[in-house]
Amino acid sequence: MSAFKRVQQWATFARTWHVFDCKWQDPYDSAQVIKKYLMGLHKPIYHPTNDCGDVVVCINSRDIALRGDEWRKRAYFHHTGYPGGASWTLAWELHNKDPTMIIRKAIYRSMKGNLQRRHTMERLFIFPGEDVPQDIMQNVTNQIRQLRLVPTRLDHIPEEEVQKYPKVMDYPQDYVLK
């Protein structure tokens, strides 16, 4: 193998590091996207036997958003193995204990349960906030696009912009503003 061919081989199978911002994202929907990057399904060279998965760094996992009443309706099951050892933890309780756990479990469960899954999960880093260690962040060369738009709060929009924004509703003739 010539030197050029060897470098070509390295380039093709090089691992890319991706960053994903979890702010206002549904963990179960974004797990379907992150999974593809972790397993290497987004690459044209993908094959189940070649090791072409990428590394994904999830940030702001504390700010994930669940749909509707899922914070109090979704339960996570755990059994210690002893009689009476079953426990059900609600999503908001789990998120209180460990803000990275919900997204990690979502990604873990989105993948098929084979021997490769544990090793694929090793390539996933999750951070509850913005601050990521420098030795991880310096490898990142790509960003995965979010699924949902991050909504803007009304009190964060400047007052004059709210005033100038076109209106659809007009008050009736003698309506007294409250």
Partner 1 sequence: MSVSKINMAALVRSSFGLFKNSILNTAIRSLSTSKPLNIKEIREHKEGTKLVVEAVSLPSPRKDLLVRADNIDLPSSNCEHESSVKEPCYMCALGLDVKHTDVLILSQFVRSDGCMLPRRITGLCRRQQKKIGKMVSMAQKAGLMINLTPAWCKKDPKKRKDYKKFNTYFDEKTIFWKRIPDQNDKWKR
Partner 2 sequence: MSNKHLFLNSGFVRAPLQNGVGRYVCQLQRIVLKFCKTHGSCRGLRDFIEQDLVDFAKQNPGVVVYLKPRRHRGPVAVAEYLNGDRVWMNLANKTHSEITKWIEVLRTQQGDIASTRLRKYQYTDHPSIQGPWTPFTFKNPELNTAVLPDQKFGANDRLPMSATEQLRLMFEKQKLEEGDVKTAE
Compute the least distance from the CB of residue 50 to partner 2, in Å: 12
CB count within 10 Å of CB 138 equals 10
For the CA atoms of the chain, what is the radius of gyration?
22
Rounded to the nearest 10 degrees, the angle between the axes of helix 27-39 and helix 101-110 is 60
Residues 6 or more apart whose Cβ sits within 8 Å of residue 3: none
Q: What is the contact surface with partner 2 in residues (CB under 8 A)?
A: 8, 11-12, 14, 16, 19-21, 43-45, 49, 59, 137, 140-150, 165-166, 168
* Site membership for partner 1, residue 175 (CB under 8 A): yes
Q: Please, which residue, 85 or 151, has the CB nearer to partner 2?
A: 151
Compute the least distance from the CB of residue 148 to partner 1, in Å: 7
Q: Please pick, from the candidates 55, 57, 58, 64, the single residue that binds partner 1 as defined by CB under 8 A.
A: 64
Binding partner selected for residue 79 from partner 1, partner 2, none, CB under the kind-specific 5 to 8 Å limit: none
Binding partner selected for residue 169 from partner 2, partner 1, none, CB under the kind-specific 5 to 8 Å limit: partner 1
Q: What gap in Å lies between CA 60 and CA 127, rounded to an integer?
A: 6
Judge whether 61 and 103 are in contact, CB under 8 Å. yes
Binding partner selected for residue 115 from partner 1, partner 2, none, CB under the kind-specific 5 to 8 Å limit: none
- Say which amino acid occupies 157: I
How far apart are the two ends of the chain, measured CA to CA in Å?
80
Size (the chain), residues: 178
* Site membership for partner 1, residue 147 (CB under 8 A): no
Q: What gap in Å lies between CA 95 and CA 62, rounded to an integer?
A: 8
* Site membership for partner 1, residue 77 (CB under 8 A): no
* Site membership for partner 1, residue 158 (CB under 8 A): no
- Residue 161 in tokens: 């912009």
- Residue 123 in tokens: 């390539």
Q: Please, which residue, 36 or 91, has the CB nearer to partner 2?
A: 36
Binding stretches for partner 1 (CB under 8 A): 24, 26, 63-68, 70-72, 90-92, 95, 148-149, 151-155, 157, 162, 164-178
